[in-house]
Amino acid sequence: MLGAMEAPVVMVGSDAVEVERRLLAGELVCPCGGGLAPWGHARRRPVRGVGDLRPRRARCGSCSVTHVLLAVSCLLRRADGVDVIGAALLAKATGAGHRPIAVWLERPVSTVRGWLRAFAGNAETARSMFTGLLVRLDPLTGPLPVRRGVVADAVEAVGACAAAARRRLGVLGAVSPWQLSAAVTGGRLLAPSLSAVSINTSRPLGGAV
Ligand SMILES: [Zn+2]
Each residue's pLDDT tens digit, 160-198: 998 888 888 776 566 789 999 999 999 999 999 898 887
- Report whether pLDDT(208) > 70: no
β-strand 51-53 against 45-47: which pairing, if any? antiparallel
What's the mean pLDDT in 110-116?
98
pLDDT, mean over the chain: 88
Report the separation in Å between the CA atom of 163 and the middle of ligand 1, taken as the mean of its atom positions: 31
Report the separation in Å between the CA atom of 2 and the middle of ligand 1, taken as the mean of its atom positions: 16
Report the separation in Å between the CA atom of 164 and the middle of ligand 1, taken as the mean of its atom positions: 29
- Report whether pLDDT(2) > 50: no
pTM of the predicted model as reported, rounded to 2 decimal places: 0.89
User: How confident is residue 115, by pLDDT bands cut at 50, 70 and 90?
Assistant: very high
Report the separation in Å between the CA atom of 81 and the middle of ligand 1, taken as the mean of its atom positions: 27
**CA–CA gap between residue 87 and residue 66 (Å, rounded):** 32
For residue 39, the surrounding DSSP H or E stretch is strand 36-41
Which residues lie closer than 8 Å to 21 by C-beta, 6 or more apart? Answer: none
Q: What is the pLDDT of residues 50-96, one digit of tens each?
A: 888 889 999 999 999 999 999 999 999 899 999 999 999 999 999 99
Residue type at 147 in one-letter notation: R
Burial of 142 (C-beta count, 10 Å sphere; 0-12/13-18/19+): exposed
